[in-house]
Structure 1
Amino acid sequence: MADKKLKLMQVIGAKNSGGAELFYLRLARALAKRDDVELLCVVRQGSWMQKQLEAEGLNFKTAPFGGFFDRKTTKILKSYLNDFQPDVVQGWMSRACSKLPKTSVPTVGRLGGYYPLKNFKNCDHLIGNTQELKRYIIENGHPAAKTHYIPNFAPIPDERFKLNRADVRYEFGIAPEVKVLFIAGRLHPVKGIDLAIHALRGLPEHVHLMVAGSGKMKRELESLAEKEGVADRVHLLGWVNNITVVASAADIWLVPSRQEALGNVVLDAWAHGVPVVASKTPGPMSLIEDDLTGKLFDIEDVDTMVRHVEALLKSPRHGETMAENAKSVMLSNYSEESVLKKFISFYKGLI
């Protein structure tokens, strides 16, 4: 008789795209590929995530995931639990976890930020994706024995992605000799894109900034670029589903965030073999060994950011060495295979 499949229900209530949503999708893809797993994704009706799952043919159902007065979602989730009979339920972030019903099924909450734990009251176990988050969860009263650390992963692309470099640059009007600083992230104040625009003013004319991400700050950032006299060197691409395509144009990957609990973008940079210059927020600091796997600067310290970029432009070989070191760390600790193994082992330990 064949071994029984591990039945997993993964619940996320976000409307739009972001770092946590991207990792949810990556994990869902990885789980769906396994012969020993049966996966049900539950996502917000009409969300970005629903469109992605539809396009990829993954098994999903929807729920409203409304605000405080939404009572429907919990009832709907209960019906999905009764129908699917999962071995483990995992909720992602506050919105989904606050709607999870009380159940005898082992229930996990996954945190990617410093959320109030009251939203996770129906979760037996909590996962933080950094050691800092794990500490935060325990310090805020959750039992240490039921608090876990499992990092994110980033898929490592086929090396042939680099062949897109000339085409991507041509599409966005970036000359071959230009050096491209690349940011992947929402156009939101916490991501520090304004700081990168300020930094551009202190860098040579042949250095441009390319940003893959959408958000309400677009006009504000365009105005800032005009004011700083660098508008012709700033390229706001909008949201990009496949970061690999545009990453081929990058020379340095910037993470100038004011807040970054983990920083999927650091893992993405490592996976793509691009040297990273990042702010000393908790996520990047938990990953990067300064000057070995990336360069770190104090939050909002534009001058040091500029110095790090200049140093890497003057010594590209040092950037290549950092990227090689980072990829080695990535393969050992943050590859899809190694992280997926941790998740599967964790789930099996709950049943």
Structure 2
Amino acid sequence: MRILLVMGAGGEGGAETFFTQLALALHRAGVETQAVIGPNEQRFSTLRSNGIETLVLPFRQILDFKTKPGLKARIKQYHPDVVLTFMNRASKLCPKGDFLHVARLGGYYKLKNYKNCDHLIGNTKDIVRYLDQAGWPEGRAHHVPNFASVDRDALPVSRAELDTPEDVPLIVSLGRLHENKAFDILLQAAKLENRPYIWIAGEGPLRVELEQMARDLDVAHRVRFLGWRNDRGALLATADFCVFPSRFEPFGSVMIEAWAMKCPLITTRTAGPLEIATADKDALMVPVDDAEAMAVAMTRVIDEKGLAEGLVKAGWDSYEKAYTEEACVQNYIDLFTRLLAEREQVFR
């Protein structure tokens, strides 16, 4: 089986990270894999240094005369069995051809960009339900969850290097600095529960606003904005617990990364966490936009004897059951194998 993975987004985020990790995981599993990506030097270097032939194309929004013919030429040259596209632009620009075109969706996207696809993959059951309800053809939407793409052997980050005392509770929170991730609620909760230090790893349009908010709430001395980080495993290995405060979250890769790193988890009652987690078992779950409830949950993890240990044990069990790299890759291989066989029957 030959698979070509395609993603036009050049930035950093959850989908971009998973694209890279899935390409590497398929390659490690012995699947013949190539990639086509938008400009991103680090992603290109990571893929190429791990033996994945990678083509960079512009994927610009306007006046782009290179991407579509370049992608078509690479497909003709590589002759893949499956082209797996990520996000809108790559899916829209992918030409039709003698291959199975599957797009992977990590959100509730408009289907106009996916009309040329043969099948769609949603990383939650709720996304698959959305696709069915939006009119996508029956039997052509499939559920394959993500895996936790963290280095489980990572050593903890030095607290001293980030001006954080060794004897204080430490929260790590990861995600794009965007309204949907609700870091404003985390900062408000830190005002109410004033013991933890907080490391926020991520970048985005709200950084300046959030830094100012931390100063206004008088919590800036306990908050560290780390920017985009690729050492999420090491950060979670350092944390006493992880807080995932999103107000909108289709999946929630941070959750399964916390479970994989045996880090107690607090999250919100959004679509992804409600589907994946079990409240008060593998995560404490609080209402969206409720800083007071989040602060109470933080206090519970710090003070309630045995709670953190119980969350870690149940979280690890949830991770091992469904979110390991091996399980995810096998799910993709099994799905592609079945769909290719069905396609061959149709064209006989």
**Displacement after TM superposition at 1:46 (Å):** 4.0
Identity of aligned residues (%): 33
Cα distance in 2 for partners of 1:316, 1:249 equals 20
Shift of 1:311: 0.9
1:151 maps to a residue whose letter is: P
Q: CA RMSD in A?
A: 1.5
Unaligned runs of 5+ in 2: 341-348
Counterpart contact for 2:11–2:40, Cα < 8 Å: no
CA contact (8 A) 2:85 2:104 kept: yes
Aligned mate of 1:38, from 29, 32, 41:
32
Partner in structure 2 of residue 17 of structure 1:
12
Given that 1:8 and 1:40 are in contact with CA atoms closer than 8 Å, whether structure 2 keeps it comes out as yes
SS of the equivalent of 2:238 reads: coil
Segment of structure 1 superposing worse, 142-151 or 167-176 = 167-176
Q: Which moved more, 1:57-66 or 1:105-114?
A: 57-66
Deviation at 1:270, TM superposition (A): 0.7
| Structure 1 position 283, deviation (Å) | 1.0
Q: Give how far 1:347 is off.
A: 1.2
- Given the superposition, is the C-alpha separation of residues 276 and 226 from structure 1 closer, same or farther in structure 2, using an over 3 Å criterion? same
Paired residue for 2:344? none
Q: Alignment partner for residue 164 of structure 2, among 144, 168, 174?
A: 174
Q: Given the superposition, is the C-alpha separation of residues 186 and 156 from structure 1 closer, same or farther in structure 2, using an over 3 Å criterion?
A: closer
Matches within 5 A, 1:202-213: 202-204=192-194, 206-213=195-202
Q: Distance in 2 between matches of 1:264 and 1:300?
A: 20
Partner of 1:109 in structure 2? Answer: 103
Q: Separation in 2 of the partners of 1:86 and 1:253?
A: 40
Any stretches of 5+ residues in structure 1 without a counterpart? 1-5
Distance 2:68 2:95 in 1: 6
Give the 5 Å matches for 1:45-194: 45-46=39-40, 48-155=42-149, 157-158=151-152, 161=154, 164-165=155-156, 168-194=158-184
For residues 269-288 of structure 1, the aligned pairs below 5 Å read: 269-288=258-277
Residues 172 and 235 of structure 2 are in contact (CA less than 8 Å); yes or no, is this contact kept in structure 1? Answer: no
Deviation at 1:104, TM superposition (A): 2.7
1:191-247 Cα offsets, whole Å, 9 max, x none, are: 11111111101013x311111111232221111111001110001111111211222
Structure 2: distance between partners of 1:118 and 1:232: 47
How far the C-alpha of 1:155 sits from its partner, in A, is 4.0
TM-score normalised per structure 2? 0.94
Runs of 4+ in 1 over 6 A off after TM superposition: none
Aligned partner (choices 186, 196, 205) of residue 196 of structure 1? 186
> What letter is aligned with 1:340?
V
CA, structure 1 residues 269+46, in 2 after alignment: closer, same or farther (shift >3 Å)?
A: closer
Separation (CA, whole Å) in 2 of partners of 1:114 and 1:316: 40
- Specify which of 19, 28, 36 is matched with residue 23 of structure 2: 28
Q: Is the 8 Å Cα contact of residues 11 and 90 (structure 1) preserved in structure 2?
A: yes
Q: Match of 2:55, SS?
A: strand
Partner of 2:321: 332
Distance 1:64 1:47 in 2: 13
Structure 2 residue identity aligned to 1:20: A
TM-score normalised according to structure 1 size:
0.93
Say yes or no: does 1:289 pair with 2:278: yes
The one-letter code sitting in structure 1 at the alignment partner of 2:21 is R
Corresponding residue to 1:258 among 238, 247, 266: 247
- Cα–Cα, structure 1 residues 64 and 157, in superposed 2: closer, same or farther, change >3 Å? closer
Quote the Cα distance in structure 2 between the aligned partners of 1:25 and 1:328: 25
Structure 1 stretch 63-72 or stretch 256-265: which is displaced more? 63-72
Determine if contact 2:91/2:103 at 8 Å carries over to the other structure.
yes
